[in-house]
A and B are shown apart, each in its own frame.
Chain A
Amino acid sequence: MIHAEGLRKRYGEVDALKGVDLDVPQGTVCGLLGPNGAGKTTVVRVLTTLLRPDGGTARVAGCDVVADADRLRHRIGLAGQHAAVDELLTGRRNLVLFGRLYHLPRRTARRRADELLERFGLAEAASRPVKTYSGGMRRRLDLAASLIVAPPVLFLDEPTTGLDPRSRLALWDLLRELVSDGTTVLLTTQYLDEADHLADQIVVVDSGRVAASGSPSALKSKVGDGRVSISFRAAGDLSTGIEVVRGVLPGEPEVDRAERRLTVPVEDGAASLIKVAAALDAAGIGVDDLGLRRPTLDEVFLQLTEASEVTAA
């Protein structure tokens, strides 16, 4: 549904995109992850016809983003980093305006606006100017505006930045509903848990290149099976504990003396945990907390982006 090959874009002296490939099948969610300035927004802008790429090709919903831009604009929805709605107008007037700009007949535009207001829980606020809306309501209105023509492909640039946790969860539910109806979604986010929860496929972008891609679990397994983490009761426990752990586990322990904590990367999670527990118990060492931590996407992300920084230097 979204297919890009070797996308390149230059802003003056800066190479914003240095050859980005993407492939997003229909009805799936692709999460574009990356630090600020990595090129996430530029990718979205190219795919939504806002920016012309300097090199490479991209097709979205069967339309070339350059040659077929007008046809494509009927097939995509875009919700950007800001809630791009008119503050002075009411929620309904905003949706009718955008509907009219999709060339819907007046009556259809009104009907569609009411449907969307209802669906996004904005029916009661429909006649109020948007400036009286909360942040969550604005984002929902913005998302509603991007869904007016029920586009098969939806682009969301940091859809939940600045939202409180409840509004974020509500937005996630709406997105899942859309995807189950067959919509293809490309979203950029700085929140790794968001990508983890929503995305079928994650593409990590760093300095204009794809640093890694795959399912969330595939990416996590790249950084190992997990870590055993031990918090010791006293400083003395930590010192002897390090030796005990070295005796039973092959991995090199990482020590945080201030927190009296030690973490060791392990291959076979549960078995290692049992081994360590038994050894510490036998040595009579005071332990406050002991557990197995699966790698988080944050760790994957940090490792991947650090690695590319090293190769770039």
Chain B
Amino acid sequence: MTMLEPPATRAGRLGWAVIDSLTIAGRTYSRLRAQPGELAGFLVFPIIMTVLFGYVFGSAITLPGGGDYRSYLMPGIFMQVAALTAVSAATSVSEDMALGLIDRFRAQPIARSAVLAGRSVADLSIHLLSVAMMALCGVLIAGWRPHGSPLETLAGFGLLALFAYAMIWIGTYIGLFVKNGAQADAATFGWLFPLTFLANAFVPLEGLPSWLRPIADWNPMSAVVSAARLMFGNPGSAAASWPLRHPVTATICWSVLILTVFVPLAVRRYRTATSR
């Protein structure tokens, strides 16, 4: 068999990186096809949250400024699901580490960034599929409607996707440190899930005690929810802090900040990570 040489030019290397990323993304899709239950799980969780919050809590919660709680809720659930992409990213990376697959990839002539980049893109596309299902359920079950222009609606989903992509990289970084899937779950879900409640996703922030209020105001998740509500024209609550008065700018800033920090950290960690 002929011995392949790595490309000598920058363009050639970039070409390999893109092809490798697509190959890795293809692997994620193949895994999902082999495990349809997993996909069902991705889709069912948001539906449960919609029904649970919309109808159980929704019957007791009234919005300070008036408006339909279930319409208020939907952007919150979109954000929560976007934030929790970190959990599945961390779990699957850590499982690959534990199995020694990352070692195998690293001993192969694969572009350094391709394994993580390919996974992140695949994870994002699966997330978008589940968002589409959620939106459909929201419209059918909860009576949710985006009231903005098609372009604004698209921008709303775009901002949510940007935030989800940033969260995937946080999860990826954590996944490269922990020993197995269970630890990965604890190291992400453990703080992320509570944090999604320390935001304006499910309840208006007006009622929070004054010491908790600034945390919720500055929680990036609050900015994401506010941005989505703004773009979808869904009811929101009064904004007191800078990020909530400029939610679109804040969402972009937070997401870009997370990406600038965690993408290089994760890639560097990947380059030296070994299965023990």
Using a CB–CB cutoff of 8 Å, the interface residues on chain A facing chain B are 45, 48-52, 70-71, 73-76, 78, 80-90, 93, 97-98, 100-103, 129, 145-146, 149-150
Contacts and interface: CB of A to CB of B under 8 A. Distances in A.
B140 interface: no
A88 B31 contact: yes
A75 to B, nearest CB: 6
Contacts of A101: 20, 23-24, 105, 108-110
Nearest to B106: A50
A129 B5 CA distance: 32
A70 B106 contact: no
B103 A50 contact: yes
Contacts of B23: 97, 100-101
Nearest to A82: B100
Interface in B1-46: 1, 3-6, 16, 19-20, 23-24, 26-27, 30-31, 34-35
Contacts of A74: 3-6, 109
B104 A89 contact: no
B274 interface: yes
A78 B107 contact: yes
Contacts, number: 88
Interface of B: 1, 3-6, 16, 19-20, 23-24, 26-27, 30-31, 34-35, 99-101, 103-110, 272, 274-275
B109 A103 contact: yes
Given A51-B274, A101-B20, A86 B6 contact: no
A51 B272 CA distance: 7
Given A85-B99, A85-B101, 17 more contacts: A45-B274, A50-B106, A50-B107, A73-B107, A73-B109, A74-B3, A78-B104, A82-B100, A84-B101, A88-B30, A89-B27, A89-B30, A89-B31, A101-B24, A102-B108, A129-B34, A149-B1
A89 B23 CA distance: 14
Lowest 3 CB-CB distances: which A-B pairs, in order?
A84-B100, A73-B109, A82-B100
B55 to A, nearest CB: 36
Contacts of A145: 104
Tell which of B26, B101, B109, B275 has the most Cβ of chain A within 10 Å: B109
A91 B91 CA distance: 23
Nearest to B35: A88
A302 to B, nearest CB: 26
A101 B110 CA distance: 6
A50 B108 CA distance: 10
A93 B30 contact: yes
B34 to A, nearest CB: 4
Contacts of B3: 74-75, 149
B108 A98 contact: yes
A292 B31 CA distance: 58
A96 B2 CA distance: 18
A63 to B, nearest CB: 11
Tell which of A45, A52, A70 has the most Cβ of chain B within 10 Å: A70
A245 B127 CA distance: 80
A86 B109 contact: no
A145 B34 CA distance: 20
Contact of A80 (B4, B35, B104): B104
